């Protein structure tokens, strides 16, 4: 059989609401041409993010009932601890309410003015937490990672020469840790190879620099290693996952992705002294170390999610269903970031509508048009999110993030049809201008309007 089916059947359904084109037009104008300002009930298919949007399994819901809500020493914590310890080998396992809380605690502890943190690509909250500590965040992804058309199998890899040069230039003592984001979300959900992880770790070990993972999508990354890296085809995914974690001195994880839960995160550490300091910081704002800002039931759901995500029939379906959308778009000539990523397809807005100048937010224009045409919510990752008056990001993308186990193949077919139709009518798209926006993180709350004509 060639068709890879959804490896589950559906027990609970949640209705989604069709709207008319006239309704959507009114709604999106009232929202100031900003998709974050829509009500979710006015969205038919929500591809804003794959984070916290997973459907939980019957076993996870059973765990929700089993949750032990004791303030200290809850059974649910030990179940999570045992699961994560088996999977990663780490002893110090701190639960947090989500990934960015782990990042905040980590960089509160190791970051400071004058310090420098390298990464393949920092995710925005990671960068923000590094910078909040006074340290500088440096991105060292390979050159192919900046080219939407390069089909390099591991576009998330770090340029090891650049890492060596950075260490030489600033000195290892100014680098409190080196991070690798797997998969590389900012760079298109692209994987990092095991060979590259080993090489970066070796450079770090040679210089005495702790090696950390931003491991939100560790299972998807491991599956890509199995599929694409020479010699890995017969290896069970859980053994690849274990080797990846064995390389690391620590990890931040948002459970909202490969943890298959709606809330939750982890901070994993090997160093005893660092763990003690992080635990004290955790108590200050998140909670006691055996719940870390979560309910006992959340810990149960996360423990079960980490088991389910390593099921290879799940991963085959997951990676295949995202690639399926990418292939449908490529077949119809829609420009996307290639190859398809693990959790999302990214439209290349510069090639999608070359008639819209860079300063008129082509990515946001495409995202708004997709909603108006078909009720689908996506997110711009380009000049509105990262640009400013004098700087433009290297890529102008629209991300279609696929929630885990939520949409079926016919939903995805509908998404592909809508994007293909829009691409055929792309000349009708108009650029946008900002009417009002805050200074920082403007994409969340900015209000925009259309410019009069494509070249105005």
Chain positions contacting ligand F0G, by CB under 6 A:
49, 51, 98-100, 123, 125-126, 181, 185, 214, 216, 254, 256, 265
What is the smallest separation between the CB atom of 51 and ligand F0G, expressed in angstroms?
Answer: 4
CA-based torsion, 26, 28, 30, 32: positive or negative: negative
Q: What kind and span of H or E run contains 56?
A: none
- Say whether 139 sits in a helix, a strand or coil: strand
Residue 33 CA to residue 372 CA, distance in Å, equals 10
Half-sphere exposure of 68 (CA within 13 A, CB side): 13
What is the smallest separation between the CB atom of 196 and ligand F0G, expressed in angstroms?
Answer: 17
What is the smallest separation between the CB atom of 158 and ligand F0G, expressed in angstroms?
Answer: 14
By C-beta, is 267 or 429 nearer to ligand F0G? 267
What is the smallest separation between the CB atom of 221 and ligand F0G, expressed in angstroms?
Answer: 11
Residue 369 CA to residue 353 CA, distance in Å, equals 12
Tokens read off for 402: 């696929």
Cis peptide preceding 74, ω within 30 of 0: no
By C-beta, is 184 or 290 nearer to ligand F0G? 184
Tokens read off for 204: 């770090």
Residue 275 CA to residue 278 CA, distance in Å, equals 5
By C-beta, is 125 or 332 nearer to ligand F0G? 125
By C-beta, is 188 or 210 nearer to ligand F0G? 188
What is the smallest separation between the CB atom of 97 and ligand F0G, expressed in angstroms?
Answer: 8
What is the smallest separation between the CB atom of 451 and ligand F0G, expressed in angstroms?
Answer: 28
By C-beta, is 342 or 431 nearer to ligand F0G? 342
By C-beta, is 256 or 350 nearer to ligand F0G? 256
By C-beta, is 100 or 430 nearer to ligand F0G? 100
What is the smallest separation between the CB atom of 188 and ligand F0G, expressed in angstroms?
Answer: 12
By C-beta, is 51 or 193 nearer to ligand F0G? 51
Half-sphere exposure of 269 (CA within 13 A, CB side): 21
What residue has token string 């389910």? 308
Strand 211-214 versus strand 376-377 pairing type: unpaired
171: left (phi over 0), alpha (psi -120 to 50) or beta: left
Closest-approach residue to ligand F0G (CB): 99
What is the smallest separation between the CB atom of 88 and ligand F0G, expressed in angstroms?
Answer: 17
What is the smallest separation between the CB atom of 216 and ligand F0G, expressed in angstroms?
Answer: 4
What is the smallest separation between the CB atom of 47 and ligand F0G, expressed in angstroms?
Answer: 10
Residue of 148, 134, 153, 86 lying closest to 397 (CA atoms): 148
By C-beta, is 254 or 360 nearer to ligand F0G? 254
Half-sphere exposure of 377 (CA within 13 A, CB side): 26
Residue 132 CA to residue 134 CA, distance in Å, equals 5
CA dihedral 130, 133, 134, 140 (to 10 degrees): -10
CB atoms within 10 A of CB 8: 14
By C-beta, is 76 or 181 nearer to ligand F0G? 181
Residue 413 CA to residue 151 CA, distance in Å, equals 24
| 8 CB-near residues (< 8 Å, 6+ apart) | 57, 405
By C-beta, is 51 or 383 nearer to ligand F0G? 51
What is the smallest separation between the CB atom of 270 and ligand F0G, expressed in angstroms?
Answer: 20
Strands of the sheet with 265-269, listed across from one edge: 92-96, 265-269, 250-254, 211-214, 178-181
Give 61-88 as a 3 state SS string. Answer: HHHHHHCCCCCCCCHHHHHHHHHHHHHH
């Amino acid at each position: 059989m060639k068709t890879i089916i959804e490896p589950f059947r559906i027990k609970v359904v949640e209705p989604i609401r069709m709207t008319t084109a006239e309704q959507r037009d009114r709604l999106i104008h009232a929202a100031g041409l900003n998709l974050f300002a829509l009500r979710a009930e006015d969205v038919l298919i929500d591809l804003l993010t794959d984070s916290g949007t997973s459907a939980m399994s019957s076993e996870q819901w059973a765990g929700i009932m089993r949750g032990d809500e004791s303030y200290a020493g809850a059974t649910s914590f030990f179940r999570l601890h045992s699961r994560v310890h088996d999977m990663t080998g780490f002893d110090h396992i701190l639960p947090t309410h989500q990934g960015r809380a782990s990042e905040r605690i980590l960089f509160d502890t190791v970051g400071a003015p004058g310090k420098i943190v390298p990464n393949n690509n920092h995710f925005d909250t990671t960068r923000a937490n590094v910078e909040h500590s006074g340290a500088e965040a440096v991105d060292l992804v390979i050159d192919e990672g900046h080219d939407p058309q390069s089909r390099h199998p591991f576009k998330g890899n770090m340029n090891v020469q650049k890492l060596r040069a950075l260490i030489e230039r600033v000195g290892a003592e100014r680098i409190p840790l080196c991070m690798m984001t797997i998969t590389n979300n900012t760079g298109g959900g692209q994987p990092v190879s095991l060979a590259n992880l080993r090489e970066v770790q070796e450079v770090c070990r040679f210089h005495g620099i702790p090696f950390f993972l931003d491991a939100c999508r560790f299972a998807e990354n491991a599956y890509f290693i199995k599929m694409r890296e020479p010699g890995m085809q017969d290896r069970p995914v859980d053994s690849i996952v274990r080797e990846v974690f064995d390389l690391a001195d620590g990890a931040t994880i948002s459970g909202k992705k490969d943890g298959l839960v709606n809330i939750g995160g982890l901070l994993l550490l090997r160093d005893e002294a660092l763990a003690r300091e992080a635990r004290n910081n955790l108590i200050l704002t998140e909670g006691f170390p055996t719940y870390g800002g979560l309910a006992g039931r959340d810990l149960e759901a996360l423990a079960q999610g980490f088991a389910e995500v390593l099921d290879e029939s799940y991963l085959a379906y997951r990676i295949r269903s995202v690639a399926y959308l990418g292939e449908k778009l490529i077949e119809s000539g829609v420009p996307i970031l290639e190859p398809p990523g693990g959790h999302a397809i990214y439209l290349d807005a510069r090639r999608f509508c070359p008639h819209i100048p860079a300063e008129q937010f082509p990515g946001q224009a495409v995202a708004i048009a997709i909603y108006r045409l078909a009720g689908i919510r996506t997110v711009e990752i380009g000049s509105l999110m990262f640009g400013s008056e004098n700087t433009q990001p290297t890529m102008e993308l629209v991300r279609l993030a696929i929630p885990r186990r939520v949409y079926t193949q016919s939903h995805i077919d509908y998404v592909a049809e809508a994007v293909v139709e829009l691409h055929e009518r792309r000349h009708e798209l108009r650029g946008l201008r900002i009417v009002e926006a805050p200074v920082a993180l403007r994409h969340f709350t900015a209000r925009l309007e259309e410019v009069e004509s494509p070249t105005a």
